[in-house]
Chain A
Amino acid sequence: MYRLLIKQFIRSRITLGALALLLVMGLVSILMGKQFLAQQQERIVQVTEHQREHIVRNVAAHDEMGLLLYYLKFSLISPPDKLSALSIGQRDVNPGIQSITIRTLEGQKYDTDLTNPVQLQSGNLDLGFVILYLFPLVIIAFTFNILSEDRESGTWKTIVVQSRSAFQFLLAKFLVRAFFLYGLLLFLLLAAAVILSLPLGESYLAFVVLSVLYSTCWFALTFWLALFKKSSGFTVLTLLAIWVTLTILLPASVNNLVATLHPVPESLSTLVKQRDGYHEKWDQDKKVTLDKFYARYPQFAKYGVPDETFHWLWYYAMQQMGDEDARADSRAMREKMLQREETSRSLARAIPTLHTQLYFNDLAQTSLADYIRLLDSTTTFHERTRLYFYPKIFEHAAVKNEDWAAVKPQYLPPRDTVCWSPLVLPLVVIILVLLGWAWVRSRNIYSI
C-alpha cells in the first residue's frame, strides 16, 4: 500500500515543485547564514587588528597616561555562536562587538553598528524563516485535501468498504507526506551542519527537536482539520487563514502590544543624563566630584584633591559621574527591555510560531536577552579596565612601562542555552491536544 501511496504522492507536479522550492530556499538560506557568519568573523578579525594598530599609534603619539587613555578603545567581543547562521535574530540589529574607552560608558555602550534599515525591516532569509514560514505552507499544500480529495472524487466510499481500516489508510497517506517533509527538514538541518561545520552538541540537537516539533504542530493541525470532512476549498482557506494569523497577524499584533505596553523613554533620558552628569562637573568645585568618586571607590581616596586647575584624576572622576548620574535611568531602561522579553515569552507560549522563533534565537544566542547580556558584560568590562588603569593615570605612570601588546580584545564566554522543558512543553501540549481531538473525531470518517 505504501509503495502505491508514495507513487501517487510524488507523481504530482505540485509535490515536486514544492519540495524543490523548499530545498532551494533552504540551501539558499544556509548560504546566507554562512555569509553572515563569515561577516561576523571578519568583523572580529578587523576589530582585533584595528585595536592593535590603534594602540600602537596612540602609544607612540602620547606620553601622558591620562591623555593616552582618553583615546584608547578596548574591545569586548561576543563571538557569534555558529547556530546564529540558522537564526540570525537580533544579531544584525544589535552589535556583537563593543569598543569602548574608559570614559563615561553610558554614552558609548548603545552605539549601533552600521545597518541598512530596509534590510532590517525585510528580515533575514535564514533557515529559521524557511522552517517557520515555508514548511507549514508546504505541509498545508500536501495535506489539506488528504481526505477531501477522495471524498470529492468518490473513491472514499470504496476505501471505506474495501480497506481493512480507513483510518489506517488515511494515516498512511499522512505518513507518506510526513516522511518526505521530515526527510527534507532533517536533510536541510544536516546540510547546514555540514556546510557551516556546526558542532553537533546539545544546542544543535535542541534546534533539530524544536524544528521537528514545530512541523509536527502543523501536521497535527492539518490532520485534525481533515477529520472535519469539509470540502477541500473550505479546508485550504481555513488552513491558510490560520497560517496568516499565526505567522503574520498574531505576531505583528503581539509586537505592537509589547511596543506600546512598554515604551522606553529611559533610553532618551539616559542619553541626556550621562552627558549632563559629566559636563556639569566642569562648573563645580573639584571636591564635590572627588568626594562622590571616593565614596564609590574608597581605594583611591588617598589621592586627595589636586591643586591644579586641570588634573586627570579629576577628569576621570567627572567622566565616572556621567555613569553615576545616569545609572537609575539606565537600570530602568534595562528593566523595560527585560519586561519586553518577558511579555513576549509569556505570550509566545500559546503561539507556536512565536515560541519557536524566540527559542531558535535563544539557542542561537541571538535574542534580546543575549544583547542585554553583552551590555551587562560591557559594564563589568568597562569597570575592570578603568580600575586597572586608574592608579596608573593618577600616579602618572610612564606609558612605556605598560605591556601594550598584551592588551587584546576580550571575549564573552558562551552561555548554556538548552533548557528542555520550557523549550518543548508548549509545542508538545498543542500537538497532544490536536491529536487527541483528532483521535476522538476519527470514528466519524467511516460515515459518508
Chain B
Amino acid sequence: MNRSIVVLLARQSWKNAFHSRAIYGVLVVLFLMIGYAAYSGWKMYTVQNEMREHYQRVARERWEDNPDKHPHRMAHFGTFAFRIKHPLSLFDFGLESFTGNAVYLEAHKQNTINFSEASMSTGLLRFGEISLAMLLQMVVPLIIVFLGFGAVAVDRENGTLKILLTQGARGREILTGRSLGLFAVAMVVVVPAFFCAALLLIASGVSVDLDLVGRLAGIALAYFLFNAIVCVITVAVSAGSQSSKAALMKLLGVWLLLAVLLPRTSQALGSYFFPAPSRVAFETVIEEDVLKQGDSHNPDDPHYKHLRDSVLRVHAVDSVEHLPFNYSGFVMREGERISARIYQQHLQALTRLYDKQNSLTTAAALVNPFTAIRNLSMALSGTDVESYKVFQSEAEAYRYTMAQEMNALQMELISNRKPGPQDKPLAISHDHWKELPDFKPQGIAIGASLRGAWFSAMALLLWSVGSCWWVGRLSKTLKAI
C-alpha cells in the first residue's frame, strides 16, 4: 500500500467534508449539544453526590448522637446507605437514573433501595437522556453516515473513481484513505467531547488514581475503535452500492436498526421470555424459607428449642437466665444469620434471572457494535449493572455487620433477667455506638467492571477485525463504474 496516496485521499476527504457549509451548521449544533450534555452530566453528578454525601454524614451523626439505650433498639434505629455516583457518570449516565439511590438499613429486614431518579420522573425519561456517551454512541455515527455515504459512491457517479484507478491508485488505498479521512472528521467531534469530560472531571476535584486513568484509557480506546468501525463500514457500504442515494438509504436503515430498534427489541424479548417475579412473590418465598428453618418468635419452634437445649447443655445450666451471655441476643444472632443467608440465596437467583433477561442484549453485541460500545462504555464509567450490584452487596454487608455488632453487644452487656413492667429499660453506654465503623463503600474496581463487560469488549474487537477484513475483500472487487 502506498502511504502517500492514502494520505492524499484522506486529506482530500477531510477537505471535502469542510467544503459544504452545511457541515458547519451541523458542527455548531453538535458542539452545543456536547456542551449541554457535559454541563447537565456534571450538574447531576455534583448535585446528587453532594446531596447523598450530606445525608450519609447526617446518618452517621444521628447514629453516634444516640443516648444510652438497648443495643437492639439501636439495631432497629439502623442507618442508611446512599449510593454515590461514579465520577465518570458525568460522561455516561448508563443505568444511573434507573437504579435506587437510598436504602434504610435495619436489623432483620432487607429494605428495597428506593428513590431512583426514574421513580420521580415523568414519562419523558423513556425517550432517554442526553449524555456525552449517548451523543457519541447515537449521533456521531449518524453524522459519519451523513458525511461518508458518498465517500466512494460519488466518485463512481462522477467518474473520478475510474480516473483514480487508472492512475494507479489501488482499491485498498482508496478505501483506506477515505476511511481515514472520515475518521479524522469524526475526531473533530469525539476529541472535544473527551476534552470536555476530562475538564469537568478535574473541575469536580476527583482524585486521579490508577483505576480512573485505566477507565479513561479504556473508554478512549473503545470509542476510537467504535468510530473506526463506523467509518470503515460507511465507506464499505458506499463502495459496494450502485449509487450514493442507495448507499445513504442502506446506511440510514442500518443505523435505525442497530441504534434504535435492535437494542429495545432484544431487551424486551429477553424480559418476555424470562419473566421476573414480583416483590410480593419474592418476599413470600423468602418468608416461607426462613420459617422452614425456624421461627425465632415461636417458643415451641423445634430449631430454636434444639438450639436452646444444646446451649444449656454446653454451659451446664438449667435455664437461659443462668447463661453467661444474653440469650435473646444469641437467638437474634442466629436468626439474622439464617435470614440473611436465605435472602442472599434468593437475591442471587433473582440477579441470575435478570442476567438472563439481559443475556439477549449482551449476546446482541456480537451482531451490533452499538450494543457493544454501549455496554462497554457503561461498564468503564461505573454506571452499569455490575456497579449497582456492588452497591447492593456493600449495603447489605454493612447492614449485616451492624445488626450482628448490636447482637454481640446485647449478648455481652445485657442482663438475662427481664425487667418488670415498671422498671427502667435495660441500656448500655452510648460510647459503644462509635465502635461500629462508618459505611464506606468502595465502589466497583476496574477489574470487576471489565469482567462484566469482557464479552462486549471482545465483540468490539471482533467488529474491528471483521470490518477491516470486509473492506480488504471489497477493495479487490472494487468496480470503477
**B is bound to A:** yes
- Contacts beyond the supplied A114-B278, A272-B58, A309-B425: 14 A-B pairs with Cβ under 8 Å: A35-B275, A61-B297, A112-B112, A118-B267, A119-B267, A129-B264, A133-B260, A232-B245, A248-B128, A252-B130, A255-B127, A255-B130, A259-B121, A308-B421
B residues 329-370 touching A (CB-CB < 8 Å): 350, 354, 357-358, 361
Q: With contacts A112-B112, A117-B99, A122-B361 known, is A272 near B80, CB below 8 A?
A: yes
Residues in B neighbouring A89, C-beta threshold 8 A: 123, 126
Is A267 part of the binding interface, using a Cβ–Cβ cutoff of 8 Å?
Answer: yes
Do residues B104 and A99 form an inter-chain contact, with CB atoms below 8 A?
no
Residues in B neighbouring A133, C-beta threshold 8 A: 260
Residue of A nearest to B76 (CB): A279
Tell which of A118, A257, A265, A348 touches B95, judged by Cβ atoms closer than 8 Å. Answer: A118
Do residues A119 and B271 form an inter-chain contact, with CB atoms below 8 A?
yes
Do residues B115 and A268 form an inter-chain contact, with CB atoms below 8 A?
yes
Do residues A259 and B117 form an inter-chain contact, with CB atoms below 8 A?
yes
Is A63 part of the binding interface, using a Cβ–Cβ cutoff of 8 Å?
Answer: no
Alpha-carbon gap, A341 to B116, bound state (A) = 16
Do residues B124 and A344 form an inter-chain contact, with CB atoms below 8 A?
yes
Is A206 part of the binding interface, using a Cβ–Cβ cutoff of 8 Å?
Answer: no
- Output the least CB separation between B279 and chain A (Å): 5
Do residues B123 and A90 form an inter-chain contact, with CB atoms below 8 A?
yes
Q: Mark B39-62, 1 if CB is under 8 A from A, else 0.
A: 010011001100110010011001
Is B67 part of the binding interface, using a Cβ–Cβ cutoff of 8 Å?
Answer: yes
A residues 103-156 touching B (CB-CB < 8 Å): 107, 110-125, 129, 133-134, 137
Is B424 part of the binding interface, using a Cβ–Cβ cutoff of 8 Å?
Answer: yes
Is A247 part of the binding interface, using a Cβ–Cβ cutoff of 8 Å?
Answer: yes
Is B2 part of the binding interface, using a Cβ–Cβ cutoff of 8 Å?
Answer: no
Residues in A neighbouring B267, C-beta threshold 8 A: 118-119, 122
Residues in B neighbouring A337, C-beta threshold 8 A: 120
From B134-142, B165-173, B303-311, B408-416, the one touching the partner chain is: B134-142
Residues in A neighbouring B104, C-beta threshold 8 A: 107, 271, 275
Do residues A114 and B114 form an inter-chain contact, with CB atoms below 8 A?
no
From B189-197, B212-220, B280-288, B397-405, the one touching the partner chain is: B280-288
Residues in B neighbouring A110, C-beta threshold 8 A: 114-115, 119
Do residues A336 and B120 form an inter-chain contact, with CB atoms below 8 A?
yes
Alpha-carbon gap, A107 to B103, bound state (A) = 10
Is A269 part of the binding interface, using a Cβ–Cβ cutoff of 8 Å?
Answer: yes
Q: How many residues of B are in contact with the other chain, CB < 8 A?
A: 97
Is A93 part of the binding interface, using a Cβ–Cβ cutoff of 8 Å?
Answer: yes
Residue of A nearest to B55 (CB): A268
Do residues A272 and B62 form an inter-chain contact, with CB atoms below 8 A?
yes
Do residues B263 and A122 form an inter-chain contact, with CB atoms below 8 A?
yes
Is A361 part of the binding interface, using a Cβ–Cβ cutoff of 8 Å?
Answer: yes
B residues 81-128 touching A (CB-CB < 8 Å): 82, 94-95, 97-102, 104, 111-128
Q: With contacts A61-B297, A249-B130 known, is A283 near B67, CB below 8 A?
A: yes
Is A32 part of the binding interface, using a Cβ–Cβ cutoff of 8 Å?
Answer: yes
Q: With contacts A117-B385, A118-B267, A308-B422 known, is A50 near B98, CB below 8 A?
A: no
Q: How many residues of A are in contact with the other chain, CB < 8 A?
A: 93
Do residues A265 and B388 form an inter-chain contact, with CB atoms below 8 A?
no
Do residues B284 and A50 form an inter-chain contact, with CB atoms below 8 A?
yes
Residues in B neighbouring A237, C-beta threshold 8 A: 146, 248
Tell which of B76, B117, B130 touches A253, judged by Cβ atoms closer than 8 Å. Answer: B130
Do residues A275 and B77 form an inter-chain contact, with CB atoms below 8 A?
yes
Do residues A282 and B69 form an inter-chain contact, with CB atoms below 8 A?
yes
Alpha-carbon gap, A265 to B117, bound state (A) = 11
Alpha-carbon gap, A287 to B255, bound state (A) = 69
Is B252 part of the binding interface, using a Cβ–Cβ cutoff of 8 Å?
Answer: yes
Q: Mark A243-266, 1 if CB is under 8 A from B, else 0.
A: 010011101111111111001110
Is A94 part of the binding interface, using a Cβ–Cβ cutoff of 8 Å?
Answer: yes
Residue of A nearest to B128 (CB): A252
Do residues B115 and A50 form an inter-chain contact, with CB atoms below 8 A?
no
Do residues A118 and B358 form an inter-chain contact, with CB atoms below 8 A?
yes
Is B268 part of the binding interface, using a Cβ–Cβ cutoff of 8 Å?
Answer: yes
Q: With contacts A111-B114, A253-B36, A276-B62 known, is A368 near B264, CB below 8 A?
A: no
Residues in B neighbouring A233, C-beta threshold 8 A: 244-245, 248
Do residues B122 and A272 form an inter-chain contact, with CB atoms below 8 A?
no
- Output the least CB separation between A2 and chain B (Å): 27
Residues in A neighbouring B421, C-beta threshold 8 A: 308-310
Residues in B neighbouring A115, C-beta threshold 8 A: 98
Residue of A nearest to B99 (CB): A117
Tell which of A90, A112, A125, A283 touches B114, judged by Cβ atoms closer than 8 Å. Answer: A112
Do residues B385 and A118 form an inter-chain contact, with CB atoms below 8 A?
yes
Tell which of B52, B73, B279 touches A282, judged by Cβ atoms closer than 8 Å. Answer: B73
Is A354 part of the binding interface, using a Cβ–Cβ cutoff of 8 Å?
Answer: yes
Is A220 part of the binding interface, using a Cβ–Cβ cutoff of 8 Å?
Answer: no
- Output the least CB separation between B299 and chain A (Å): 11
Tell which of B36, B95, B128, B276 touches A251, judged by Cβ atoms closer than 8 Å. Answer: B128
Residue of A nearest to B123 (CB): A361
Is A197 part of the binding interface, using a Cβ–Cβ cutoff of 8 Å?
Answer: no
Residue of B nearest to A123 (CB): B126
Residues in B neighbouring A251, C-beta threshold 8 A: 124, 127-128
Do residues B124 and A357 form an inter-chain contact, with CB atoms below 8 A?
yes
Q: Mark B130-153, 1 if CB is under 8 A from A, else 0.
A: 100010001100100010000000
Do residues A121 and B98 form an inter-chain contact, with CB atoms below 8 A?
yes
Is B78 part of the binding interface, using a Cβ–Cβ cutoff of 8 Å?
Answer: yes
Tell which of B51, B127, B263, B388 touches A357, judged by Cβ atoms closer than 8 Å. Answer: B127
| 19 A–B pairs (Cβ distance < 8 Å), ordered by A | A31-B272, A110-B114, A111-B279, A112-B100, A112-B114, A112-B279, A118-B357, A118-B358, A122-B361, A236-B249, A240-B252, A253-B130, A259-B121, A268-B51, A275-B77, A275-B78, A279-B76, A310-B421, A354-B127
Is B481 part of the binding interface, using a Cβ–Cβ cutoff of 8 Å?
Answer: no
Is A39 part of the binding interface, using a Cβ–Cβ cutoff of 8 Å?
Answer: yes
Do residues B245 and A50 form an inter-chain contact, with CB atoms below 8 A?
no
Residues in A neighbouring B51, C-beta threshold 8 A: 263, 265, 268
Do residues B95 and A344 form an inter-chain contact, with CB atoms below 8 A?
no
Residue of B nearest to A282 (CB): B73
Is A95 part of the binding interface, using a Cβ–Cβ cutoff of 8 Å?
Answer: yes
- Output the least CB separation between A406 and chain B (Å): 21
Q: Which 3 A-B pairs have the closest CB atoms?
A: A251-B127, A125-B268, A122-B267
Is A222 part of the binding interface, using a Cβ–Cβ cutoff of 8 Å?
Answer: no
Residue of A nearest to B113 (CB): A112
Is B129 part of the binding interface, using a Cβ–Cβ cutoff of 8 Å?
Answer: yes
Alpha-carbon gap, A308 to B146, bound state (A) = 80
Residue of A nearest to B291 (CB): A57
A residues 264-316 touching B (CB-CB < 8 Å): 264-265, 267-269, 271-272, 275-276, 279, 282-283, 307-310
Do residues B130 and A113 form an inter-chain contact, with CB atoms below 8 A?
no
Alpha-carbon gap, A325 to B459, bound state (A) = 53
Residues in B neighbouring A95, C-beta threshold 8 A: 279
Alpha-carbon gap, A60 to B335, bound state (A) = 21
Is B16 part of the binding interface, using a Cβ–Cβ cutoff of 8 Å?
Answer: no
Q: With contacts A122-B264, A252-B130 known, is A264 near B279, CB below 8 A?
A: no
Residues in B neighbouring A192, C-beta threshold 8 A: none
Is A97 part of the binding interface, using a Cβ–Cβ cutoff of 8 Å?
Answer: yes
- Output the least CB separation between B344 and chain A (Å): 15
Q: With contacts A263-B48, A336-B120 known, is A236 near B248, CB below 8 A?
A: yes
